[in-house]
Structure 1
Amino acid sequence: MPVLVITGTGTEVGKTVATAAVAAVALAAGRSVAVLKAAQTGVRPDERGDADEVARLAGAVTAVELARYPDPLAPATAARRAGCVPVHPHDIAEAAAKLAAEHDLVLVEGAGGLLVRFDPAGGTLADAAGMLAAPVLVVATAGLGTLNTTELTAREIRSRQLELAGIVIGSWPKAPDLASRCNLADLPIVADAPLLGALPAGAAALEPADFRAAAPTWLAPRLEGMWDAEAFRVREAP
C-alpha cells in the first residue's frame, strides 16, 4: 500500500489527526512516510496547516502542501475567490507518485469529503485516487448521522471501482451516547468495510511523544496498529 488516500465524511471529522496516527504507526514500524495535503484552505500564509500538524504529532514525515487558500471554503471556491490557480486531480496524482518513488508510504489527505471540488471542472479527491489506483481510508464521526454519510461515501468509492480500505472513527467521545455505541456495530455494515480504528477525543492535544506512543492502540493491524475492533465494540456495547 505505497499510497493511501485519506478522506472524511465531511469537515471537522478528525481526518488530520487520523492521518497523523497512521503516519506515526508507520514510522514506528520503520517505514519512511510522506504526507501530501492536496489543498489547504482557511489558513493564512504564516499559520500552520494540516500537513504541519501531522508532522508535529507523528514525527519525521515529509510534509508537502500543494496549494493554500485563505478562505475556509471548498478548494475550487477558495481558489476562485483568491484569484489563484486551482489544484487539479492530476496535480495530486503526480505529486503523490513522485513521493511514492522515494518513500515507503504516502498519505494523501483531502479537504473535507470525497467529492469536494478542487477545480472548476469538478475534479475531486476521488478522481485523484482513481488515477493512483490507491485505496481510500474514510474517517467518520461517531454519533448520530454518521451512518448515512459513511454509506454514501462508501457507495461512491465503490462506484468508481476503488478499494475502500476501511473506516476510522476520527474522535471517540469520552462519554459515548447510545447512537455512538450502536454505530460501532452498524458502521462496518453500512460501509461493507472493516472498522480500522477509533481515535480518542482530544488526541491532538497530547504531547507528540505521548501521541506516538498511543497511536498503535488506536489503529487496527491493517494499519500496523494493535487495536481490536471486536474487543472495542464489546467493551462499548449498549
Structure 2
Amino acid sequence: MRGVPVSRETGRIRVAVVGTGTGVGKTHVSVALVAALAARGDKVCGLKPIESGIDGTSTTDAEQLALVSSVQPEPAPYRFAEPLSPHLAARRCGCAISLDVVTAWVDRQSAPVAIVESAGALLSPLGPGLTNADLVRALSPDAVVLVGLDRLGILHEVACCTLALRALAPGLPPAVIVLNPPAVPDASTGTNAGELAALGIASGAVVMPRAAPTAPASLSAAQVALARLALS
C-alpha cells in the first residue's frame, strides 16, 4: 500500500505510533486516534504489543486502547510487571523480545485498521542491538505518527527522530508530528508547531489540546491528524 493514498477502501491499514521520548503521551494520542476512527464507523483496533509496568491494579495502556477499539485485540505477547525499559524487564523475566512474534501478532488482528503503539521512545532498546525503530521498520506501516511534548527542546527531539527514521527506515513515509501539551507550559509552548515548519524540520504538526483523549476537542485534533495521515 506504500505510495497509494491510505483510505478505508484500500484494505488493511497499519499506523505506527512512536515517541520522541518516554512519557510524552503516545497512549493519549493513540487512544484519540482510535476513538476518532471508531466514532466515524471504522473497524479499528488499538494495539500495544510490548508493555511494562503492569501492576494488576492500574488500567494499562493496552486496556485503554482496547476500551475505544471497535474490534477487540488479542492479549499482547509481551506484558511485564516491572516498570522498566522493556529490554530489561524481559531480561529479568528470562525472555527476549522477538520482532517476529510481535509482527505475527499484529498480523493476526482482524481489524482493517490497526494503530500500533510502541513502548518507549523511537530509539529505546528492546534488546541487544534492537530498538523501537527496528520494530517500526518490521511493522512496515502505511503511516507513522511521532509524538512529542510542546515544550522547549522539542525542535531538537523531532529533528533527531526524523533523521533517525530516514536513516534507519528509509522506505517508510514521513512521520506526522503530534504535540501534546506539557504538564507545565514554558515560553515555547504554542509556538513549536510553527517553528518546526519555519525551520524546515517538519510541516503540518498537529497540536493536541489539554483534555481527555476522548473529549470533543481531542477527537477534533485527532481527525486533523488522520487527515494528515491520509486516513480519510
TM range (shorter): 0.7 to 0.9
Question: Can you give the 5+ residue segments of structure 1 that lack an aligned partner in the other structure?
Answer: 205-210, 226-238
Amino acid at match of 2:80: Y
d(CA) in 2 for partners of 1:20, 1:68: 19
Q: Secondary structure at the match of 1:191?
A: coil
Amino acid at match of 2:192: N
Q: Secondary structure at the match of 1:107?
A: strand
Alignment of 1:52-201 (within 5 A): 52-56=63-67, 58-63=68-73, 64-81=75-92, 83-99=93-109, 102-119=110-127, 121-134=128-141, 135-159=143-167, 160-161=169-170, 162-171=172-181, 176-188=185-197, 189=199, 191-195=201-205, 197-201=206-210
- Corresponding residue number in structure 2 for 1:31: 42
Call closer, same or farther: CA 1:68–1:8 in 2, change over 3 Å: same
Question: Can you give the 5+ residue segments of structure 2 that lack an aligned partner in the other structure?
Answer: 1-5, 7-12
Contact in 2 for aligned 1:165/1:193 (Cα 8 Å): no
Aligned residues: 212
- Corresponding residue number in structure 1 for 2:219: 216
1:47-96 Cα deviation digits (max 9, x unpaired): 4210112233x353424422111222211111112x24232222222222
Q: Secondary structure at the match of 1:6?
A: strand
1:13-59 Cα deviation digits (max 9, x unpaired): 11101000000111122111122212111122444210112233x35
* Structure in which a larger fraction of residues adopt helix: 1
Deviation of 1:224 (Å): 4.6
d(CA) in 2 for partners of 1:150, 1:179: 15
The range that moved more, 102-111 or 45-54, is 45-54
d(CA) in 2 for partners of 1:156, 1:62: 33
Q: Secondary structure at the match of 1:200?
A: coil
d(CA) in 2 for partners of 1:14, 1:222: 15
d(CA) in 2 for partners of 1:52, 1:146: 28
Call closer, same or farther: CA 1:182–1:23 in 2, change over 3 Å: same
d(CA) in 1 for partners of 2:162, 2:204: 11
- Identity across the alignment (%): 27
d(CA) in 1 for partners of 2:148, 2:159: 10
Contact in 1 for aligned 2:51/2:119 (Cα 8 Å): yes
Contact in 2 for aligned 1:38/1:87 (Cα 8 Å): no
Q: What RMSD in Å do the two structures reach over aligned CA positions?
A: 2.3
Call closer, same or farther: CA 1:136–1:199 in 2, change over 3 Å: same
Deviation of 1:190 (Å): 5.2
Amino acid at match of 1:87: I
Deviation of 1:171 (Å): 2.6
Deviation of 1:164 (Å): 2.4
State the TM-score, normalized to the length of structure 2: 0.81
